[in-house]
Amino acid sequence: MIKLQKGVFMLIQILDILRILVVCIAFFFGYLIGFKNGYNPAAQLHFMIPIIIVTIAGISGLEGIFLGDSTAKAKGFESDRNYQMQSSFALLSFAVVAMIVLLCNWGILSELTIFFSFIIFFFLSGINHAVDAIKNKNYKWQNINRPFITFLLIAGMVYPVIEVLKRIN
C-alpha cells in the first residue's frame, strides 16, 4: 500500500511537470508561428489556445476524476469527492469545448471566448490557492505554484491577445 501511495504521488508530480512542459512547448512554437513572416497573432493563438487548455484543463480534469483524493492530499486540501468531481467535470468541459472550437474551425473569437472562460477560472483558482497558502500556511508545491504559474500564463498571453483584438474589424 505504501508503494502505491508513493507511486500515485509520483504520478501526480509527473502530471504537474507534464502540464508545465507542454505549455512551455506551446509557447515556444506559438511565438515561433506568430512571428513567422511578420506578426500574426491569430495564427499564434490558434495554435496555443487549444494546446494550453487541453493540457491544463484536460489533464487536471482527468487527474481529479481518477486521482482526486491523492491530488487533494498532495495539495494539502481535504478531500471532498462531490466538489472535486464537479470541478473536474468543469475542467474537462473547457478541454472538450476547446477541441470542438478547433475542429469546427469557429475562428479566433470563439477561441478567445473559451480561453477567457478558462483563464478566469484559472485566475480565480490561483487566488484560492494563494489565500490557502497564506491563511493556512499551506506551502506545498502543488498548492503554491498555481498563483505563479497563472501569472506567467497570463503574462505570456497578454501581447498576442491584445494584438489580435486590435486587428479584429
Domain boundaries, the chain: 2-167
Q: Is the pLDDT of residue 35 over 90?
A: yes
60-64, 82-86, 154-158: lowest mean pLDDT where? 82-86
pLDDT classification of 26: cutoffs 50, 70, 90 = very high
pTM above 0.85, yes or no: yes
Cβ contacts of residue 62 below 8 Å, gap of 6+?
Answer: 88, 92
For the stretch 87-118, pLDDT in tens is: 899 999 999 999 999 999 999 999 999 999 99
Give residue 129's pLDDT.
Answer: 86
Mean pLDDT in residue range 35-45: 97
Cβ contacts of residue 136 below 8 Å, gap of 6+?
Answer: 76
Residue entry with cell 474537462: 92
Q: Is the pLDDT of residue 55 over 50?
A: yes
